[in-house]
Structure 1
Amino acid sequence: MGTHTTDSTDPTNPMDPLPVPATQAGRDGLAALLASPRTAVIGLDFDGTLAPIVADPDQARAHPEAVPALAALAPGVASVAVITGRPAGVAVRYGGFAGVPGLEHLTVLGHYGAERWDAVTGTVSAPAPHPGVAAARAELPGLLDRAGAWPGTWIEEKGRAVAVHTRRATDPQAAFEALRVPLTDLATRHGLIVEPGRMVLELRPPGMDKGMALGEYVREIGAESVLYAGDDLGDLPAFAAVDKLRSDGVPGLLVCSGSTEVTQLSDRADLVVDGPAGVVRLLRALAAQLG
Structure 2
Amino acid sequence: MGSHPLPEPVTQAGRDGLAALLKRPERAVVALDFDGTLAEIVPDPEQARAHPAAVPALARLAPHLNSVAVITGRPAGAAVRYGGFASVPGLERLAVLGHYGAERWDAATGTVRAPAPHPGVAAVRAELPGVLDNSGAWQGTWVEDKGRAIAVHTRRAADPQAAFQALTGPLGELAERHGLIVEPGRLVLELRPPGVDKGVALAEYLKETGAGCVLYAGDDLGDLAAFDAVARLRAEGMDGVLVCSGSAEVTELAARADLVADGPSGVVALLTALAERLG
Which category of TM-score, normalised to the shorter sequence, fits these structures? over 0.9
Paired letter, 2:224: L
Deviation per residue, 1:5-41 (Å, 9 max, x gap): xxxxxxxxx6110000000000000000000000000
Instruction: Tell me what 1:269 maps to.
Output: 257
Please show how residues 1-291 of structure 1 align to structure 2 within 5 Å.
Answer: 15-291=3-279
CA distance in 2, matches of 1:107, 1:150: 36
Displacement after TM superposition at 1:176 (Å): 0.4
Residue aligned with 2:46, SS? helix
Paired residue total: 278
CA distance in 2, matches of 1:157, 1:280: 29
Residue aligned with 1:218, SS? helix
Deviation per residue, 1:225-258 (Å, 9 max, x gap): 1000000000000000000110010010000000
CA distance in 1, matches of 2:171, 2:33: 24
Mind listing any 5+ residue stretches in structure 1 that lack a counterpart? Answer: 1-13
- Contact kept? 2:137, 2:166, Cα under 8 Å: no
CA distance in 2, matches of 1:48, 1:25: 24
Residue aligned with 1:185, SS? helix
Residue aligned with 1:182, SS? helix
CA distance in 1, matches of 2:137, 2:223: 29
Deviation per residue, 1:30-59 (Å, 9 max, x gap): 000000000000000000000000000000
Residue aligned with 1:168, SS? coil
CA distance in 1, matches of 2:214, 2:91: 18
Residue aligned with 1:129, SS? coil
Paired letter, 1:77: L
CA distance in 2, matches of 1:109, 1:102: 19
Paired letter, 2:138: W
CA distance in 1, matches of 2:219, 2:67: 21
CA distance in 2, matches of 1:262, 1:279: 16
TM-score (norm 2): 0.99
Instruction: Tell me what 1:11 maps to.
Output: none
- Indicate the RMSD between aligned Cα atoms, in angstroms: 0.6
CA distance in 2, matches of 1:137, 1:101: 39
Deviation per residue, 1:99-120 (Å, 9 max, x gap): 0000011000000000000000
TM-score (norm 1): 0.95
CA distance in 1, matches of 2:265, 2:129: 37
CA distance in 1, matches of 2:269, 2:108: 26
CA distance in 1, matches of 2:22, 2:236: 20
Displacement after TM superposition at 1:150 (Å): 3.2
Paired letter, 2:228: A
Displacement after TM superposition at 1:68 (Å): 0.2
Paired letter, 1:259: S
Structure 1 residue runs of 4+, over 3 Å off? none
Deviation per residue, 1:78-107 (Å, 9 max, x gap): 000000000000000000000000001100
CA distance in 2, matches of 1:154, 1:86: 16
State the identity as a percent.
76
Displacement after TM superposition at 1:268 (Å): 0.4
